[in-house]
Amino acid sequence: MGLEDVTLREKSVASGVRQLGRARPQNPSRDAVSMPSVYRRLSAESLRQALRKMHLIRRFEESAEDAYMRGLVHGTMHLSIGQEASAVGICATLEPTDYMTSTHRGHGHSIAKGAQVARMFAEFFGKEDGYCRGRGGSMHIADVSTGNLGANGIVGGGLPIAVGVALSMKKQRRSCVVVSFFGDGANNEGAFHEALNMASIWKLPVVFVCENNGYGMSTSTERSTAVKDVAERACAYSMPGIVVDGNDFAAVAQAAFDAVERARRGDGPSLIESKTYRIRGHSRSDRNRYRTKEEIEAWLARDPIVAFERELARLGFVSKSGIEAIRTDVECEIAEAIAFAKASPAPSVEELTRYVYSD
Amino acid sequence: MSTPIEATAILQRRRSSVEDTRSSGLSPEPRELSYAQAIQEAMAIAMERDERVFLMGEDIGVYGGAFQVTGDLVHRFGADRVMDTPISELGSAGVAIGAALTGLRPIFEFQFSDFSALAMEQIVNQAAKLRFMLGGAVSVPLVMRFPSGSGTGAAAQHSQSLEAWFAHVPGLKVVQPATPHDAKGCLLAAIADPDPVMIFEHKLLYKMKGEVPEGHYTVPLGKARLCRPGRDVTIVATSIMVHRSLAAAEELSREGIEAEVIDLRSLRPLDRDTLTQSVKRTHRLVCVYEGVKTLGIGAELSASIAESDAFDYLDAPILRLGGAECPIPYNPELEKAAVPQTPTIIAAVRDLIGGRL
Amino acid sequence: MATEVILPRVDMDMTEGRISRWYVEEGASVTKGQPIFEIETEKAAMEVEAPASGVIRDLATALEMKLPVGSVIAWIDAAGESGGKGMRSSTEDRAETKAKTPTTPDETAQYSIEEQSAPPPMQADHPAQLEGDGSAFRRATPLARHLAREHDVDLSSLEGSGPKGRIQATDVERSRAKADAAKAMPDRAARAKPSGAVLHCRWLRQGEGVPLVMIHGFGADLNAWRLFLAAARLGSPVLGIDLPGHGGSAARKAPSFDAMVAQVAATLRAECSDALHLAGHSLGGAVAAALSRHEETKPLSLFLIAPAGLGREINGEFISGFARAQSAAELAPFLPMLVSDPSVLGSSFIKATLRQRNGLDAGLENLGATLFPGATQAFSIRSVFEGLPIPAKIVLGGQDQIIPPRYTSGLPGNVAIHAFPALGHMPHVEAPDAVARLLRELMQSAAPK
Ligand SMILES: Cc1ncc(C[n+]2csc(CCOP(=O)(O)OP(=O)(O)O)c2C)c(N)n1
Ligand SMILES: [Mg+2]
């Protein structure tokens, strides 16, 4: 991919932005073309695992929603239904030792990076077996064992931290890469700009992944952001800025491979803008006043899981029965996870102030 | 198309609301509004009366605000006066300050008080100090609203009670209305005030209903409210803790303990007088607040009494019931345990009166 | 070192005697040789001198009771020492530094004979006392300390009922009530003291005979009488009462005139023998007058100094300004209204006036507004005098600027009016001797046969 890559990178420097993926989000139709290179770079097993993870995310989100409605979950939650390809496509290119920071809409990122749904459900239910021992809940799930440094309740909160982790890797001469997920809304926080600048001047191994789902809560990017594509911001910090179809696994993974390799080579950060859509409301209290039914339905037709299944089946990586097996397997895992979470003990009130400081 | 119909509806609504405001003095009929509605009404009245008033915040337009406080105001006043900002707390807070500095009267909503941390620079270093630094040449008539507090399962970064931070900064005024009546009156007073006023609104209060007079009225900033007289102990509380303290007082009264409950309402300016007078009557003081106990408002209240004339009237140690020394946890039981609840207050007062403390 | 005070044998064949009166109060500092109590034997009354200097404690409270010669009736603690030996009801109360407290027989052995002869020591870690530089510190609330200061109660003589032995306001009040009861008339000592709504009162003078009850004026307290009493040379015991909302008598809200009268009546019922003389100044004069017709009080005589309640007007400017004043400076403009020569009031009067108003719950201003709304007197005592069965005198100053002196005209002829043309609202302060003579005459004329 070397030559092709160089050309693309040069182009990106010239225009600031390059496009990956064969379809713009606005145009869901897709022609059969030759097999994208990621299908060669990832093993058949990895691809099937990627599909499984996308299913697992989807079912996790749906079950979390269900549990919420049954009153098992306290507080609110931000579901990533519709954004599965973005999370899995990025994380498919990472090593377990690579790091990740995530957002309030982070369930998918956690699962994609390798978290166990049982412990995630336990966290949702506020239990001691949860990833945060019931202290953090939906918005703070982290799994340090898989390099997942956690979701974040603060928009843009993870970006500078990711840069710091990258600095740490570089100083320690560890070859790990750091991926920082954030939403389109975060690109207007000062933290975003400050983080990108520092990552660039110090040539740090960070991949900034903006999951642009069109809205920061209710405010569309058109109303909130001066540039058309968030990726254009990369230009200001002298790093590649790439727009990809976030609902297309291969497109996301392709961009991620490039950025991760560049980072690992020591050439510095990249900004990937993954254009996608959240099907559910922003949170449980969203009344969808700011968008139309038609818009939601158009995106429903572009379901990333359906598309990925179709592609894998077309390319012969998975059979119809194979897909069925993945679905039932995921169903099983979810059911067991919920049972585990329900049975897990609640934290003791006696330990209220534990973990505030390192003992 | 739907636009003309909508436009008519908006026009009608606007007309009727104007009438509402006008007829205020004439109809003393008691009327209940929720805390959120009371705030919304205050903003509407202020915008009707004064063209300079406008709203800024994240998702306060068509979304109506994260807690539906601005609600439909965007339809009444248009997107120019109910401005959705990008998610840029530092910048937009600064923009509000600049507008206030030069003739406008912005009301700025933080989506959650926690996010004010991002805007601290502009609030603390700029808004609070500009007038002073410029030797009185300018003023910053800015109102900021902060949905605060725990109890919603929103965990550590969406549940804090940070009012004491702001109250520590000379140049800012900090109020915490506890009732719909005060929410409206304090907001209208804040809008009329020439200096930056920070209003902390407990999220659990938004749905609380209470009597709210119609029309324009103000509640003086810096004046505490005696909500319940009692001879045995003074409970001074802020925000939602006022209601928990009143519930506790009710229960204690059945045991023969008469607690006096004071709603502090304002942290800065601080009404030390009302508190001192009360402590002189009751000889005991319990401070109840949701912010973290250590170095919180209770410390200031206790110290005020210790320094005052009321010191010689104390017949028991001063007690502070504040938030636990930890971030707000997610688990509901832990979350409840992290801040004072009615039974906590009852137990503490019993111990105090019973001479166990 | 504590020295015991015993009931000495003062007569060859004396085996027992009784204390007829104490010259000192609990906790007072005494010097060796100073007369501290009076003893009565079959044959004579004798003064007994202090055997040592220091603070006197644990006074035997029962007067008139026969005690065997040699009984310990008090202790004198040398300066710097606190806590006594002997007549304690509870060893808990002993305040010694923890370090000194013997905890093992060995340690005990090192103690002096005196120490060993003391009653059993308190448990080693008695918490009522903090360790420190060796000086005894009593744990007490600020209010308890405040009250103790105000009423000359020695904290170290008290037992704290609060946690860790902390002395609370109730402890001070209880002890004060006890002391008052003990010091008052002998027959009163035995009388049960009802709890609750009685007013704060204090025996300003011990003595023989029918007690005189004195009621102060608006904004003052029972201490206001001390100056007068010092000059008055009365033989009878004198009880001062703090009106509600004044001095040590709390009032949750401003009481009405009738409520005041009722509370004073209740207090007298609890504190005093049936026979008594009544005297009052200004507002207190009105209260005294009303009491003379109260069904439960049967005074033998009525002595009113510049009484309120005889007419409608009162100096409103004075009432509100005097009530509002919080400092000597604020008080100053109002003093010339009280007396023709403000210097007679002295700084102690001003200090006492200001200090006592710290204790007001209801607020003097509120009280003023209730009793004297819009510069009028909201109550009347004129009906009291018609057919009054006891002798009554009214003393007033012709220059009174607070209450017009003309109001005494038209009162029935059985009331003696003594008008001092040159004096103001406080004749008893400006001419104590003359006023005291009138009082003594009145009381003598009304003395029981
Ligand atoms: C600093 C800060 N400001 C505001 C919020 C409230 N908030 C939470 S999510 C959100 C929208 C974020 O939009 P985006 O970054 O596009 O992420 P998305 O929700 O679309 O995934 C907002 C305003 C916050 N959590 N943190
Ligand atoms: Mg978004």
CB C334 within 8 A of CB C293: no
pLDDT at C284: 95
Mark yes or no for CB contact B334/A352 under 8 Å.
yes
Confidence of residue A16 (pLDDT cuts 50, 70, 90): low
We report the CATH number of the domain holding residue C256 as 3.40.50.1820
> Do B133 and B156 belong together in one domain?
yes
Q: Shortest CA distance to C424 belongs to which of C405, C448, C437, C406?
A: C405
Q: What is the CATH number of the domain that holds C103?
A: 2.40.50.100
In a domain, B117, yes or no: yes
Cβ < 6 Å from ligand 1: which residues?
A 78, 104-105, 153-155, 183-186, 213, 215-217, 282; B 58, 87, 89, 111, 115, 118
Whether residue B315 and residue C145 make contact (CB cut-off 8 A), yes or no, is: no
Considering only CB atoms, which chain B residues are within 8 Å of C128? none
Count up the domains in chain C and report the number.
Answer: 3
CATH classification of the domain holding B267? 3.40.50.920
Examine the domain organization and report whether B163 and B49 are in the same domain.
yes
Kindly report, residue by residue over A300-312, the tens digit of the pLDDT: 999 999 999 999 9
CA distance C361 to C398: 34
* Boundary-marking domain end, from B212, B242, B275: B212
Q: Considering CB atoms only, which of B280, B314, B356 is closest to C141?
A: B314
In chain B, what residues touch C166 (CB-CB under 8 Å)? 355
Out of B212, B236, B255, a domain closes at B212
Q: Where are the domains of chain A?
A: 3-344
B6 within a domain of the structure (yes/no): no
Residues C150 and C279 in one domain: no
Is residue C123 one of the residues assigned to a domain? no
Give yes or no: B32 in active site: no
For residues C25 and C77, state if they share a domain. Answer: yes
Give the residue numbers spanning the domain of B329: 225-353
Which CATH superfamily, name and number, covers A3-344? Thiamin diphosphate (ThDP)-binding fold, Pyr/PP domains (3.40.50.970)
Q: Which of A154, A161, A193 to mutate to test the interface with B (most CBs of B within 10 A)?
A: A154
User: Smallest CA–CA separation between B303 and chain C, in Å?
Assistant: 14
CA A217 / ligand 1 centre spacing (Å): 6
- A-B CB pairs within 8 A amount to 132
In a domain, B1, yes or no: no
Distance CA C281, CA C284 (A): 5
Nearest CA to ligand 1 atom 20: A216
Q: How far is CA C48 from CA A27, B287, C35, in A?
A: 116, 55, 5
Residue A348 pairs in a beta bridge with none
B247 and B197 part of one domain: no
**Domain end: C148, C163, C180, which one?**
C180
Average pLDDT over residues B313-338: 97
Whether residue C414 is found in the same domain as residue C286: yes
For residue B355, the chain C residue with the least C-alpha distance is C162
Q: Where are the alpha helices (DSSP H) in chain A?
A: 2-15, 38-41, 44-69, 84-91, 107-113, 117-124, 158-171, 190-201, 221-224, 233-236, 249-265, 293-300, 304-314, 320-343
Residues B326, A356: C-beta atoms closer than 8 Å: yes
> Residue C158 sits in a domain of what CATH number?
4.10.320.10
In a domain, B29, yes or no: yes
- Shared domain for B159 and B115, answered yes or no, is yes
Give A-chain residues touching B115 at CB under 8 angstroms.
Answer: 154
The domain tally of chain B equals 2
Query: pLDDT exceeding 90 applies to what percent of chain B?
Result: 90
**Is residue C121 assigned to a domain?**
no
Place of tokens 């030069």: B102
Q: Are residues C303 and C173 in the same domain?
A: no
pLDDT band at residue B27 using 50, 70 and 90 as cut-offs: low
Indicate whether C15 and C138 sit together in one domain.
Answer: no
- Give every CB contact of residue A140 below 8 A, 6+ residues apart in sequence: A132, A150, A151, A152, A153, B155, B156, B157, B330
Q: Do B178 and B43 share a domain, yes or no?
A: yes
Query: What confidence category does residue C107 fall into, taking pLDDT thresholds of 50, 70 and 90?
Result: very low
Rounded mean pLDDT of B190-208? 98
Q: What percent of chain A has pLDDT over 90?
A: 86
Other chains touching A, judged by 3 or more CB pairs under 8 Å = B
Tell me: pLDDT of A281 over 50.
yes
ipTM above 0.85, yes or no: yes
C75 and C154 inside one domain: no
Domain-located, residue B329? yes
- Same domain flag for B156 and B199: yes
Mean pLDDT lowest among A257-266, A272-281, B309-318, C31-40: C31-40
| Shared-domain flag, residues B172 and B276 | no
Taking only the tens place, the pLDDT of each residue in A85-133 is 999 999 999 999 999 999 999 999 999 999 999 999 999 999 999 999 9
Neighbours of chain C (3+ CB pairs under 8 A): B
Do C173 and C155 fall into the same domain? Answer: yes
Residue B77 placed within a domain: yes
The active-site residue, picked from B75, B109, B158, B300, is B158
Do B338 and A352 count as a contact with CB atoms less than 8 A apart?
Answer: yes
What percent of chain B has a predicted confidence (pLDDT) above 70? 92
Query: For residue C273, what are the domain limits?
Result: 186-446
Cβ-nearest to B312 among C146, C162, C361:
C146
Cα-flanking dihedrals φ and ψ of residue A211, to 5°?
-90, 95
Of C2 and B25, which is predicted with more confidence?
C2
Better-scored residue on pLDDT, B28 or A357:
A357
- Residue of B179, B347, B173, B148 whose CA lies nearest to B271: B173
Instruction: Find tokens 């609640």 and name the residue.
Output: A346
Tell me, yes or no, whether B201 and B335 share the same domain: no
Whether C314 and C352 share a structural domain: yes
Express each pLDDT in A223-265 by its tens digit: 999 999 999 999 999 999 999 999 999 999 999 999 999 999 9
Same domain, B204 and B229: no
Residue B219 included in any domain: no
The ligand 1 atom at the shortest distance from the C-alpha of residue B59 is 23
Last residue of a domain, one of C93, C115, C137: C115
**pLDDT category, C110, cuts 50, 70, 90?**
very low
Q: Is residue B220 part of a domain?
A: no
DSSP B260: E
Catalytic residue status for B158? yes
A223, A225, A286 member nearest B84 (Cβ):
A223
User: Given pLDDT bands bounded at 50, 70 and 90, which one contains residue B17?
Assistant: very low
Nearest to C142 among B313, B356, B357 (CB): B313
Q: Which ligand is nearest to the CA of A217?
A: 1
Pair C233, C89 in one domain: no
Look at B160-174, C89-103, C399-413 and tell me which has the smallest mean pLDDT: C89-103
Query: Does C322 have pLDDT greater than 50?
Result: yes
Q: Is B27 in the same domain as B150? A: yes
Question: How many whole angstroms from B121 Cα to the centroid of ligand 1?
Answer: 20
- CA A195 from chain centre, in angstroms, equals 19
**Sign (positive or negative) of CA dihedral C342, C348, C354, C357:** negative
Tell me: do B70 and B186 sit in the same domain: yes
Ligand at minimal distance from the CA of B119 is 1
Based on the domain organization, do B198 and B260 belong to the same domain?
A: no
